[in-house]
Amino acid sequence: MSRGRIALLLAHLEEQWRVLERIYAGLQELSIQDEKDTVYAGYLLHNFYTAFEDLMREVARTFENTVDDTARYHRELLKRMKLNVAGIRPALVSEASFRILDEL
């Protein structure tokens, strides 16, 4: 794998991490008082998962090409990210994180 691909992946991961931190901070600050707050929390959770999924997709694209089963793309990507691929990359999510993210 070229240094350029690794550098590009690292830059993408850093950017996505900043996005995730910003969304997470918004979730922590949220005080749910009414339906509007609940809707906003749902919006933030959706954005958080989408940003994390984008991060996982970039890891898969860099190390393993793509996820083939497009009908079950989201779950297959998540399942792949809990795998430790020996000599290639460590698992990106733990079993506990997998279960939580799979619920979303």
Domain count, the chain: 1
For the range 98-103, what are the long-range contacts, defined as Cβ-Cβ under 8 Å and sequence gap of 24 or more? 101/49, 101/52, 102/75, 102/78
Q: Are 57 and 77 in contact, with CB atoms under 8 Å apart? A: yes
pTM (whole model) above 0.85: no
pLDDT of 45: 93
pLDDT of 65: 65
pLDDT of 24: 94
Q: Residue 65 belongs to what domain range?
A: 3-103
Sequential pLDDT tens for the chain (104 residues): 788 888 999 999 999 999 999 999 999 998 888 899 999 999 999 999 999 999 998 998 888 766 777 778 888 899 999 999 888 889 999 999 999 888 87
Report the sign of the C-alpha dihedral through residues 47, 92, 69, 99, in that order.
negative
Q: Which amino acid, residue 74?
A: H
